[in-house]
Amino acid sequence: MFILTTIVTTLVLFSTVLIVSGSVLFKSNSSYSLETVQALNLAEAGVDKAVATLNKTGGNYAGEDETSLGIGSYSVKITSIDSGTKYVEATGYIPNKQTSKAKKTVRVKVSKGTGTAFSYALQVGNGGLYLKNSSRINGTVYSNGNIVMENSAVITGDAYVAGGTQGIADQESDCVAPNCGDFIFGKSVSGQNIFDVAQSFKPTTTQSINKVALKLKKIGTPNDIQVRILADNNGSPNKDSVLTQGTLYANLVTTQYSFVEVAFQTSPTLTAETTYWILLDTCGDNTNCGNSTNYWSWSQDLSQGYNRGAAVWTTKWNQNNASWNAVLADLNFKTFMGGVATYIQGGNTSQINGSAYANTLNTLNVGQGAYFQVQQNVNAASYYPGSSDPVSKVMPISDANINDWKNEAENAGVYNGNVSGCVSTLGSGKYIGNVSLINNCVTTVTTPIWITGSLTLDNGSQMKLPSSMEDLSGIVIVDGKIKLANNGKFVGSGTQGSFFTAVSMFDTTNDPVNYAIEADNGSDSMILYAGKGAIRIANNGVLTELVGWKIELSNNAVISYHSGLAGVFYPSSPSGAFSVIKGSYQLK
């Protein structure tokens, strides 16, 4: 009996020791896990502090050895890649650096530049899209003009044609020196919280409104803001009658004045000779509005030459009894009305694998839904008659962005005379003349580059970004035409996410016979852009992204959308701010 009691007692004591030990171990692991998370939070706080300080000091920030924050501390190390790109490495400690129980390190790459999102395989302006001879688009197309598909052309994604926009502004206000001024908003000015501002106008015709253009510049790095069209209420914006709204993307605005377009989510019909308001809302739903370093300036006409409207401002536009204050000037803007019927025209076994959206659909095979007002000879999985026209889309690069890159190139150096033959390198700068690279020449370039003449890449020649740019992208801007012959191409750095963009400023709207960009038999991670020009791709050309006023694909040309185009980053833009480059986050 004594022996049995002893055994039982020993087992109970052993079990108790196991339970207590397990509890201590669980508590230790739980504590370690919590402290690790806290250390990570501190490291990420260090990254946030570093980015904010880089922007505040214009890049003059070397990091910090240890800064206390809450229950722990963090340190920051800055490593410069070039004047506009840096590595930020931040480490969080619990409870401090000297006696840390837990620590975590986060490393990111930041760059002062401009981010651009290319959301579609092709984005087309009012000139429209023409697909011929078995050409193919692997992705979705959005066009502000008509789409014509011939001879077995294929779009694997969706196809959108926006309701047509009039080419000339219905209403316009601009200033002429010396009667130009700055209207500052989005901050407190002389003790007045000027957060929301509005300009009224009267359309001359009863028609839908598709978009507006606003002459703006930014100071610092303000956020995107909402732009609304409101009805009038006894000479003030009517907060209870919002007709439509759209987003003003801050990345399209620079530190110099330029008209920047805003497209709306819907296209309401406005009545001729009736007052409406363009309202810019910098606060949104935030209660803490205004920023002393990041705000906006709207160009104003001090002579008040626009006699069909007026400008006002307030602190919070949607509050009851909001107090609207007069602006003693006209704010500079343009309004563009719709009313132009647009279409997708198919034929000869042309195919849209996704859905088709347009006012009119004609002779099409549609794999999914057909959305239309009018249709004829359309075979689709489902039909949606009476659908509203898609709205216009703003081009992903603005004239202000391009002028910014031109200024940066010019500041890097100005070079006179044509460049021809084969050069191994080409530095950032303004090149006054033409650039022509001969067969199979490979030229490594530092961007941005501005060429005042034309650019020709002959058979197999390349302009490429240096490998040191890693996942950053580069840009060349050409005032004249771009010609890529037989596999002539622009090549990224070789790292995923790096793209080379070539922009032609040639205006096809005034010269419909010539193309701004022509490419044959080429392929690589390049983006071709002609905001006012026509692009022609032929003879088995394979590209990543096209954006143009008008685009023509023929002879088996293929466009294949790359998911990385949703976040292309161009470094060192003068109007850009330091920000974390997508995909560079590393946890150590």
CA distances from 260 to 30, 198, 399 (A): 53, 16, 8
pLDDT band at 301 (very low <50, low <70, confident <90, very high): very high
| pLDDT number for residue 173 | 97
At 3 the three-state DSSP class reads helix
Mean pLDDT, residues 545-555 = 91
406 in the same domain as 377: no
Question: Is 94 contained in some domain?
Answer: yes
Question: Is 316 contained in some domain?
Answer: yes
Q: What is the mean pLDDT of the chain?
A: 88
183 in the same domain as 320: yes
State both tokens at 431.
Answer: 């090149």
Q: How do residues 494-543 score in pLDDT, each as one tens digit? A: 988 888 999 999 999 878 789 999 988 766 668 999 999 999 998 776 77
**Is the pLDDT score of 2 beyond 50?**
no
Q: How do residues 148-167 score in pLDDT, each as one tens digit? A: 999 889 999 999 999 988 88
Show Cβ contacts of residue 214 under 8 Å, excluding neighbours closer than 6 positions: 227, 248, 259, 260, 262, 278, 280, 298, 331, 332, 333
The H-or-E segment that residue 27 falls in is helix 2-56
Q: What proportion of the chain, given as a percentage, has pLDDT over 90? A: 64
Cβ atoms 426, 463 nearer than 8 A = yes
379 in the same domain as 413: no
Question: Is 500 contained in some domain?
Answer: yes
Question: Is 556 contained in some domain?
Answer: no
| pLDDT number for residue 290 | 74
| pLDDT number for residue 32 | 56
Question: Is 569 contained in some domain?
Answer: no
305 in the same domain as 259: yes
520 in the same domain as 406: yes
CA distances from 139 to 153, 169, 181, 364 (A): 13, 32, 45, 18
Cβ atoms 237, 277 nearer than 8 A = yes
Question: Is 262 contained in some domain?
Answer: yes
329 in the same domain as 198: yes
177 in the same domain as 326: yes
Question: Is 570 contained in some domain?
Answer: no
**By mean pLDDT, which of 112-116, 175-179, 443-447 is the weakest?**
112-116
Residue numbers of the domain that contains 77: 2-114+580-587
540 in the same domain as 402: yes
450 in the same domain as 410: yes
**Is the pLDDT score of 275 beyond 90?**
yes
Q: How many domains does the chain have?
A: 4
23 in the same domain as 97: yes
| pLDDT number for residue 58 | 66
210 in the same domain as 287: yes
Q: How do residues 338-372 score in pLDDT, each as one tens digit? A: 878 899 999 878 999 999 999 999 999 999 999 99
**Is the pLDDT score of 17 beyond 60?**
no
Residue with tokens 């901050």: 187
531 in the same domain as 455: yes
| pLDDT number for residue 541 | 66
Give the domain-ending residue among 351, 386, 421.
386
Distance, in Å, from the CA atom of 159 to the CA atom of 142, rounded to the nearest integer, reads 6
